[in-house]
Amino acid sequence: MNNFFFDLINKSDPVFFLISGPCVIENYETTYLIADHLKKVANLLDIPFIFKASFDKANRTSFQSFRGPGFEHGLDILGAIKKDLNIPILSDIHLPDQAKKAAQVLDIIQIPAFLCRQTDLIMAACNTGKPVNIKKGQFLSPLECRNIINKAKESGNTNICITERGSSFGYNNLVVDFRSIPIIKNLGVPVVFDATHSVQLPGGAIDSSAGERQFVPTLSKAAIAAGVDGLFIETHPDPDKALCDGPNSLPLNDIKDFLSTLLAIKKVVG
């Protein structure tokens, strides 16, 4: 099957691919430090790695919350890191007219969960010809991803991936139904599990989201056992001081041991 994401995992089996980085670009130095550390760990463990960082968090809970460096400067930082470290880069776009310019820098374009039903945005991303990772909205069932995939297919782009990131469960809470992994895979696309956003408590701190990072390992192990193709992990050198999504981000120094455990599970379940 002609799919960028399937090709990643077919190079070395049994394995999963990793999408990881900070929630948002805080500055070049911190972003480079995280990317460099993740590249070294991924190379050591022989895990296909895609670096992720957002140039703009347009859906922050509060108007006062840090959003990032913005589209132009953010792409400049991502482009420099891509060149310096020779790694593939993923980031999310929020408007259709961002797609073409973003595609000049990004290797993979991501559609945020809240925007996964925006037809013009999906089509603009897919029409660039770049691989597209679409995050399943918290408000959608797994089977409803068929509609998203069908929109993407209209562009002729087969390099599509769906990311599961939990479902809304009452106020300020998400739950993960691991049946979603085989259900979405049966739609013919690779599935990524977003372990860090799945433990987010949206709006749980009133003017920002809270999170329960202690449950990231538990959910990740379950996702690997359920047959997920890739993992999405946000990480930071000091999550308690991160400018975005710190409560659900993993400490950077914990990543190696964490991934080693998941690889062991993957080898058992195949």
- Provide the pLDDT for residue 142: 96
CA-based nearest residue to 92, from 3, 17, 197: 197
Q: Once rounded to an integer, what is the mean pLDDT over residues 100-114?
A: 97
Which of 17, 25, 90 lies closest to 236, judged by CA?
A: 25
Query: What are the tens digits of pLDDT across the range 124-151?
Result: 999 999 999 999 999 999 999 999 999 9
Give the global pTM: 0.93
Find the mean pLDDT for residues 3-20. Answer: 82
pLDDT above 90 coverage of the chain, percent: 77
What does the mean pLDDT of the chain come to? 91
Give the contacts of 233 (CB within 8 A, at least 6 positions apart).
18, 19, 20, 195, 196, 216, 220, 250, 255, 258
Structure-token pair, residue 89 = 């880069």
Q: What is the pLDDT of residue 159?
A: 94
What would the mean pLDDT of 228-241 be, rounded to a whole number?
Answer: 95
Task: Strands of 75-170 (E only): list them.
Answer: 89-92, 108-111, 132-135, 160-164, 167-168
pLDDT, tens digit (0-9, with 9 covering 90-100), for 247-261: 889 999 999 999 999
Q: Does residue 12 carry a pLDDT above 60? A: no
Residue 34 has pLDDT above 50, yes or no: yes
Predicted local confidence at residue 79, as pLDDT:
97
Residue 136: what pLDDT?
Answer: 97
Residue 59 has pLDDT above 90, yes or no: no
pLDDT in tens, 68-77: 789 999 999 9
Q: What are phi and psi of 230, to 5 degrees?
A: -150, 160
- Which pLDDT does position 1 carry in this prediction? 45
pLDDT of residue 147: 95
What's the pLDDT tens digit per position in 204-219? 655 656 778 899 999 9
Rounded Cα–Cα distance for residues 74 and 226 (Å): 35
At position 253, the amino acid (one-letter code) is N
Per-residue pLDDT of 161-204, as tens digits, reads 999 999 999 888 899 999 999 999 999 999 999 999 999 887 76
Question: Where residue 63 falls among pLDDT bands split at 50, 70, 90?
Answer: low
Q: Is residue 156 left, alpha or beta, with left meaning phi > 0 and alpha meaning psi from -120 to 50? A: left
